[in-house]
Every structure is written in structure tokens, then in C-alpha cells.
Structure 1
Amino acid sequence: MSKPSSRNEPMTIARLAQHLGLAEGTISRALNNYPDIAEKTRQRVQKAAREMGYRPSSSARRLARGVIETIGFVLPTCRTQHSDPFLAEILNGLATELSLHDWDLLVTSVPDGHDEVDVIDRLVGSNKVDGFVIARTRREDARVNYLRQSGVPFVVQGRTDHPDDYSWLDIDNEQAFVEAVTYLRGLGHVKIACLGGDPTMNFAWQRRSGYLRAMAEQNGHIGVGYLIDGITDELTAFRAAQRLLAITENDRPTALLCVTDAVAIGAMHALTRAGLRVGEDISIMGFDGLPIGRAVQPALTTLHQDSYEIGREAGRMVLDLCTNPPSAPKQTLWQAKLTPRASVNPPAQSPAQQNKGGF
């Protein structure tokens, strides 16, 4: 058996073969677990490969296996996509999980004049990816409809209105808002307003549904103008909160439930600008559990979802689909965790006084 060469030289199959006194074909087949290689030889080759720092060539491995080892992610076409901290954390978790398995993440955006399906179709047609992860789903989503027909493995972060026949990972958004209303009602709030998102987005629709269901079941009061849809960022939230503050003081809500943390922070700015105290005059609750929620004053009560771990799990799911196609879709529903902080407190008056109006 020859001595190994300098550590500065890259370890190759040829060098392993020379070191072990075996044919290069035997080394390759042992590393790839071919059944015609004796178990003793396979273990010997793989042990030497580990000790000598051998790493297979990505291009050679992909050619041998007939896979690209790349997952595609097309950024959703929305104005705030590049500043969406929730989406950024999902991508971070997804990229981390893929890299642990020597797979790559291809992230691309949508050029002007095209839509997300155009980009997905181009990636499928050019064989640049083995599968997709998609996020920020609409209730009726053209991306999901396309991928259903394409035969390409995909995992959805979120769901559509009809999610039975594909793999997805989602948060129980409706139940989370039911629990949020329950928590506020338990503190004595009756007049609870809601800043909802785009109702064509499934997560926003589910949260809206949870708010309405819980308010009806728990005898909450939804006054005129309490439910405002289409709030997608801090600026629109700031303006929507100003509309709520324009309601006469006797009819004004004492608590505000927001579709995201970013929306909640925009509403907090509006209250502060108006000279009101968040958590004392009006309580505010968000959704996402973003780190910035701990830094604002007062700290933001939120419904926490671990966006980084969501990305990790989506990565595990899509890798499994690409390497071990299941007989049935895998569907996972996680629960959000209520995280109380200083932005939510009991109303300034008792429930009996609140029913009469005023703070």
C-alpha cells in the first residue's frame, strides 16, 4: 500500500485507489454503496475516504445520480418582498438545511412583465432545479396549480383553500387568532379591533376568520370600522390606526389585534404620535414573533412562529420528496405560541364600564 500524498493536494478517487491498492472503479462503487462490492471492502474504502478527507465532486456526483441537487425558490411578487423579515428567516432556515445535505438553494425574482409561474416554468424547462419551496400562498394559487401538474416535487409553506393533494407546512392561523381573542377577553377587553392583511392571502384570511369566529363565540364587540383589511406594512398600518383613533372616544376599541408584527409596530407608532400609551390606553398584539418585537417600547405581545425552523422543516420535507417520493403528501400543521409582553394589559376600565363606552 502506498503512502498518502501531501495534504495540500486534493483527495481524489485516483489517490484513494493508489493508497488502497484497488481499482478506481471499485473505489467509486464502494463510495456509492453498490451491492456488488463486498461489505468489508466498502467499509475499508469509506473509512479511508473519511480519514483522508475525500469529498466527492459535486458535478460528478450529480451526473452519476441523475439529479441536480438544487431547490428553487421564486420570491413572491409583492412590493415588500425584499424587506420581509419573516420570509428572510424562512430562506435562512431553508438554505441551512439544504447545505447540510450538500444541496443548493436557487433564489430568483420575477422580472418585469412576467409572473411567478413564468419563472417556475423556465426553471423546470431548463432542468435547473429538482424541486421547489413556495411561500406566501394565496387562497387560489397559480404556482400550486402549475406544480400540481408538472410532476416536479414541491413543498408549500402555507396552504391554499384546497390543500389535500400536495405537501405543505403551515401554522394554524385561525386557531391562533381565536386564542388571541380569548386572551384579550380574559383580560377584560370587549371592544377589540383587527388590522387584517390581504384577504386573498391564505394566512391573512385564516387569521381574519379566527378573529370573527372568536368575537362571535365570546360576545366581543366589533364596532363600525373595527375590521380593516388590506394592511400589509407599517405605513398602511399607521394610517389604519389613525382611522381607528378618529372613532369617538366612547366607541374606540381598547385592544387591537394585528395580522403581523410589522403591522402592529406601525399601529404603535400611530398611537404614540397621537399621545396615547400603548398597553395602557390601547393594547396591541402582533403575529410572527420577530426579534424587533422585543426591542420596541413597550415590548410587543405576539403570536410566535419560528420562521427559521419553518424553513429548516420545509427543507427536510422537500429533500425527502426529491430522494424518497412518498405514496401520500406530507402535511404538517404547527401551533403558534402566545408570547405576552408589555403592549397588552387589561383595559383601563372594568368590563362593565367598558360596555358603557370610554376608556
Structure 2
Amino acid sequence: MPRAPQRSETMSIARLAKHLGLSEGTVSRALNNYPDIADKTIARVRKAADELGYRPSTTARRLARGVVETIGFVLPARHGHQIDPFLAEILDGLATELALSDWDLLVAAVPEGHDEVEVMDRLIRSGKVGGFVIARTRRHDPRIDYLRKSHIPFVVQGRTEDCDDYAWLDIDNEKAFIDAMGHLVGLGHRKIAYLGGDPDLNYAWQRRSGYLSAAKTHGCDVLDGYLHDGITDEMAARHAVADLLKHPDRPTAILCVTDAVAIGAIHALAHAGITVGEEISVIGFDGLPMGEAIHPGLTTMSQASYQVGRAVGRIVVEQANAPASEFSQILWEATLTIRGSANPPAPKLVTNAKGGIS
């Protein structure tokens, strides 16, 4: 039996093959899980590799496979250059999943005066990435139009209106806001305002549609001034809340397109002396950890952002390893997380004929 190499020796596929009495090709294919290698052989090779401290050369593996094992993520252009908390959670999950497959994540920002397609084109032409993950999709998204023609693997967190020919994982945003409205109506609310996002973004459009559909179903009038589009940060939420508080028929609840917007609304209401969860209820969407830390805790439609990132990471690696495979198209549902920010509307005080309160 061949002498087992010592761990101090540089371990290679050639040494590992000699130790096992197998060809270098068989060992290489076993380490890369090729389907023509028996499971018993794969297990034997992997066990020996672990015991002898073999570590594959990432560079050699990538050259042999002809695959650039790096996934690109171009940060969407955003005022103030601040990444939103949802994308931070997505990136955390994505980076974790890619690392488990020995793939890298390249995060690129959009320089001033450029757009995301230019940055993606530069990354592809330079050979720095073997695929992309796209997020915050527009209803008609030029990034996806570009990637369709580039023939590079990509997966979308979200969807466009035309989404039949690429891989995506999305949350059922419309249903989530129908459910959120149903919860508020069940609590007794009928005067429900909506702080929405950019209607060009598909998720914001879907959530807006869910709000309007549920309002119609439940007979809740969407009065002039109840629906605010383009609320993308805390300051915009504060201005919108200030307008709602001046409304002649002030809402008893506010449904918000994201947790970040909801938290901005809660701060604005508290600043105005409104008791959130008693005088006006608030519901957000995302399920971000910061929603639990504020007071009162934020009732929200949760979408497990970190797990979404993990899932799209798995899908994009699968897509890159088998480009001819069918596209994964997955729709998850958000779940209602109930905290203190949403409760039944406060009963109105009624003055009786004698001037007392009953």
C-alpha cells in the first residue's frame, strides 16, 4: 500500500491520486461531483482529501472549468448614496451562500454620471464576473433587457412585468398588502392611508395595487390625500405624515411600503404628539430587525430578507453551472408579524346633551 503523504508535504491532485491508486482525472472529477463518478468513489476521494489536507487551487479550478466564479451585484443608484436596510440583508445572505460554494461576491457602486448598465457592461467586458444578481427591479428594467442579450447567467430578486424568460425569486407583494389591509380592517379601521414608493419600481407598484384592491374589496374609501407615492426615505415619510395629520378626515391607520418608511412615519407621529398604536396605527413591510427595536414595535409583513439572499445565491450558482437548465421562478409569501404599532382604532369621545362626555 502506498505510504500516506505527510500533511507537511504540498498536497496536489497528483499526490492524492497516487495515494488512492486512481487516475488524476478520476480524482479531479470526484472532487467536482461529476455525475459519471460513483458516489462511493466520490466519498472515498473526499475523505482522503480531508484527511490529507488537500485544498483545491481556486485559480486552477476556474481556469479548467472556464467559469469566472464571481457574482456581480451593482448597487442601485440612490440619493444620498445610502444602501437601504433591505438590500443590506439581501447582500449578507447572498455573500454567505456564495462563500459556501467557494464563489466570490463583487459589489459595485454606480459612479456619478453613469448608470447601472454601464457598470455591468464594464464588469462583463473585463471578465471580472461570471453572473449577476439584480434587485430593486423596475416594471420595465433596462438592466434585464441588457442581460438578456449578454448571455451571462443572472438571477433577479424581484420581477419585471415581463418575466417569463429569466430566473427570479420574488415575494407576492400584492397579496402581502391585501393581507395587511385585511388585518387593519379586521381591527376595525376603515380610514387607511398609504405611503407608497416609486411606482416605477415593480415591488412598489404591486404593493400599491394590493392596497387599492383591498380598499375596494372592503369598501374603504381612498380619499384625496390618503395615497402618497414616491416616499423613499424617512424625511419624505415625515412630510407625508404632516400632510395626513392636516387632513379634514384624518386616517386612523397608515400602511407603508417598507419598514424604513414606516419607522419614519412613527417618528413623525411621535414628534407630533400622536400615540402610535392607539391614535393612529402603522404597518410596514420587510421584517427588518430594527422594526422590533423601536417603540412601539412595528407590525410588519415579514419577508425573511437574509433567506431571500441565500436562495438567490443558490439559484445563480446553479444557473452558472448549468446555463441550459430551466429557469427557477419562485414566488414566496410574506407573513404578518404583529407588534404594538397596530391596534383597533381609539373610540371617539361623544359629547352628550348636557355637555358631558359619554
TM-score (norm 2): 0.90
| Contact 2:319 2:325 (C-alpha < 8 Å) held by counterparts | no
Which amino acid is the alignment partner of residue 130 of structure 2?
D
Over 3 Å counting, the alpha-carbon distance change for 1:335 and 1:229 in structure 2 is same
**Counterparts of residues 46-65 of structure 1 (less than 5 Å):** 46-65=46-65
Which amino acid is the alignment partner of residue 62 of structure 1?
R
Q: Displacement of 1:325 after TM fit?
A: 2.9
Select which of 271, 280, 297 maps to 1:299: 297
The 1-side partners of 2:103 and 2:35 are apart by: 25
Which amino acid is the alignment partner of residue 178 of structure 2?
V
Over 3 Å counting, the alpha-carbon distance change for 1:289 and 1:46 in structure 2 is closer
| Contact 1:75 1:81 (C-alpha < 8 Å) held by counterparts | no
The 1-side partners of 2:338 and 2:29 are apart by: 57
Residue in 1 that maps onto 2:356: none
Q: Displacement of 1:16 after TM fit?
A: 2.8
User: Is residue 2:133 matched to residue 1:133?
Assistant: yes
Residue in 1 that maps onto 2:310: 312
| Contact 1:135 1:158 (C-alpha < 8 Å) held by counterparts | yes
The 1-side partners of 2:268 and 2:305 are apart by: 27
Over 3 Å counting, the alpha-carbon distance change for 1:258 and 1:155 in structure 2 is same
Residue in 2 that maps onto 1:2: 3
The 1-side partners of 2:257 and 2:36 are apart by: 58
Q: Displacement of 1:20 after TM fit?
A: 4.8
Over 3 Å counting, the alpha-carbon distance change for 1:26 and 1:270 in structure 2 is closer
Residue in 1 that maps onto 2:247: 247
Which amino acid is the alignment partner of residue 311 of structure 1?
G
- In structure 2, runs of 5+ residues without a counterpart are 351-358
Residue in 2 that maps onto 1:284: 282
Q: Displacement of 1:270 after TM fit?
A: 1.1
Residue in 1 that maps onto 2:353: none
- Residue-pair matches, total: 349
Q: Displacement of 1:319 after TM fit?
A: 1.1
- Secondary structure, counterpart of 2:155 in structure 1: strand
Residue in 2 that maps onto 1:355: none
Q: Displacement of 1:51 after TM fit?
A: 1.5
The 2-side partners of 1:222 and 1:31 are apart by: 61
Over 3 Å counting, the alpha-carbon distance change for 1:148 and 1:38 in structure 2 is closer
- Secondary structure, counterpart of 1:176 in structure 2: helix
Select which of 240, 245, 270 maps to 1:272: 270
| Contact 1:2 1:19 (C-alpha < 8 Å) held by counterparts | yes
Q: Displacement of 1:328 after TM fit?
A: 3.4
- Secondary structure, counterpart of 1:140 in structure 2: coil
Which amino acid is the alignment partner of residue 303 of structure 1?
M
The 2-side partners of 1:139 and 1:29 are apart by: 43
Residue in 1 that maps onto 2:120: 120
The 2-side partners of 1:329 and 1:37 are apart by: 26
The 1-side partners of 2:174 and 2:38 are apart by: 56
Pairwise CA RMSD: 2.4
Over 3 Å counting, the alpha-carbon distance change for 1:269 and 1:96 in structure 2 is same
Higher mean C-alpha deviation, range 45-54 or range 64-73: 45-54
Q: Displacement of 1:83 after TM fit?
A: 3.3
The 1-side partners of 2:167 and 2:26 are apart by: 39
TM-score (norm 1): 0.90
1:110-143 per-position Cα deviation (integer Å, ceiling 9, x unaligned): 1122110001111111222111100000111100
- Secondary structure, counterpart of 1:127 in structure 2: coil
Over 3 Å counting, the alpha-carbon distance change for 1:63 and 1:276 in structure 2 is same
- Secondary structure, counterpart of 1:83 in structure 2: coil
Q: How many percent of aligned residue pairs carry the same amino acid?
A: 64
- In structure 1, runs of 5+ residues without a counterpart are 353-359
Higher mean C-alpha deviation, range 194-203 or range 25-34: 25-34
**Counterparts of residues 205-284 of structure 1 (less than 5 Å):** 205-248=205-248, 251-284=249-282
Over 3 Å counting, the alpha-carbon distance change for 1:41 and 1:141 in structure 2 is closer
1:137-175 per-position Cα deviation (integer Å, ceiling 9, x unaligned): 011110010011111111111111111111111111111
| Contact 1:2 1:20 (C-alpha < 8 Å) held by counterparts | no
| Contact 1:134 1:155 (C-alpha < 8 Å) held by counterparts | yes
Q: Displacement of 1:349 after TM fit?
A: 2.3
Higher mean C-alpha deviation, range 55-64 or range 32-41: 32-41
| Contact 1:2 1:18 (C-alpha < 8 Å) held by counterparts | no
Which amino acid is the alignment partner of residue 344 of structure 1?
A
Q: Displacement of 1:221 after TM fit?
A: 2.1
Residue in 1 that maps onto 2:86: 86
Which amino acid is the alignment partner of residue 160 of structure 1?
T
